[in-house]
Amino acid sequence: MSEANTPIERRSGISLWRQIAQHLRNDIESGALSSGVKLPTEPELAKRFGVNRHTVRRAVSVLQDGGLVSVEQGRGTFVREWADGHTLTNRSKLFKAPEQDAADSGETLALSHIPAEPRVAAALRLRPGDEVIQLDLVSVIDHRPVSLASHYIPAKRFKGFEKAFKRTHSVEEALKKCGVKGLSHGRTKVSASLPNPAEAKVLRLPKGQPLVVAENVTVDLKGNPVDFTIARSAGGRTTLVFEA
């Protein structure tokens, strides 16, 4: 952040609150106040700029109106988290991995065999307790986690999936190498929920921030389900765009 005592011009003809708002805006845009960071308290900002709290409050209000910060009752004021836009069409899958550049990456958190819980079994047309492959992936852009996706694959049908995934690092390509052709995505169900502690830790979420949750079933040419995905993304970082 800027120096502890930031001088402002009292005879410039520009109101003090506008100058303070500009200083804070510069801190945000330069990264000195990074995404999701809590701003100093009103007394701390008042001391920094040598003004009263009312002036600080008005400056912060300007930033809030401009969408740069959000005020959370009882917690303080935070720099707004960046938003990752997801376009959803009738042929697309929500939270599909974005095109990556050098700053982007992904990480495999888990790749294991588990018994299918009722929701997973129903989506894959299996019996509860049937063995499925669980693959947990986190997508990262500019060193920030974007989404956490859990894939569930019928283990009996796709015995070579794990080996294929380790070679391709792609669920779709791994399924194709297992003989699946003509993949298509079924209906996507979108909901909101609060994260559990593990999800909050992976996505670096502040307390109380909700998740956007999407559930999707991928099917083969015959309509047989081959992948049930539950994708979670931070509500404050996600913009959904629906196209016909």
Task: Report if residue 145 sits inside a domain.
Answer: yes
pLDDT tier, 2 (very low <50, low <70, confident <90, very high otherwise): very low
Task: Report if residue 7 sits inside a domain.
Answer: no
- Do 196 and 213 sit in the same domain of this protein? yes
Task: Report if residue 9 sits inside a domain.
Answer: no
Q: Do the Cβ atoms of 213 and 192 come closer than 8 Å?
A: yes
Query: Cα dihedral sign for 188, 110, 106, 206?
Result: positive
Query: Of the ranges 8-17, 133-142, 166-175, 212-221, which one carries the lowest mean pLDDT score?
Result: 8-17
- Do 133 and 228 sit in the same domain of this protein? yes
Q: What is the mean pLDDT of residues 108-123?
A: 95
Number of folded domains that form the chain = 2
pTM over 0.75: no
- Do 124 and 209 sit in the same domain of this protein? yes
Domain boundary among 79, 106, 133: 79
Q: What is the mean pLDDT of residues 208-212?
A: 82
CATH of residue 58's domain is: 1.10.10.10
CATH of residue 174's domain is: 3.40.1410.10
Q: Give me the residues paired with residue 38 across strands.
A: 78
pLDDT tier, 225 (very low <50, low <70, confident <90, very high otherwise): very high
Task: Report if residue 3 sits inside a domain.
Answer: no
Average pLDDT, the chain: 83
Q: Do the Cβ atoms of 218 and 183 come closer than 8 Å?
A: yes
pLDDT of residue 187: 76
pLDDT of residue 105: 54
* Dihedral pair phi/psi, residue 58, rounded to 5°: -70, -35
- Do 152 and 215 sit in the same domain of this protein? yes
Question: Measured between alpha carbons, how far is residue 210 from residues 38, 83, 96, 154, 221 in Å?
Answer: 18, 14, 20, 30, 36
- Do 149 and 41 sit in the same domain of this protein? no
Give the domain extent around 194. Answer: 84-242
pLDDT tier, 242 (very low <50, low <70, confident <90, very high otherwise): low
Query: Of the ranges 78-82, 104-108, 226-230, 232-236, which one carries the lowest mean pLDDT score?
Result: 104-108
Task: Please tell me the distance from the alpha carbon of residue 195 to that of residue 175, in angstroms, as a whole number.
Answer: 29
Q: Do the Cβ atoms of 59 and 21 come closer than 8 Å?
A: yes
pLDDT, tens only, 175-187 = 999 999 888 877 7
- Do 180 and 89 sit in the same domain of this protein? yes
Task: Please tell me the distance from the alpha carbon of residue 200 to that of residue 72, in angstroms, as a whole number.
Answer: 18
Task: Report if residue 2 sits inside a domain.
Answer: no
pLDDT, tens only, 6-32 = 777 877 778 899 999 999 988 887 778
Task: Report if residue 136 sits inside a domain.
Answer: yes
pLDDT tier, 239 (very low <50, low <70, confident <90, very high otherwise): low
Q: What is the mean pLDDT of residues 62-86?
A: 76
Does 217 or 7 have the greater pLDDT score? 217
CB within 8 Å of 90: residues ≥ 6 apart: 244
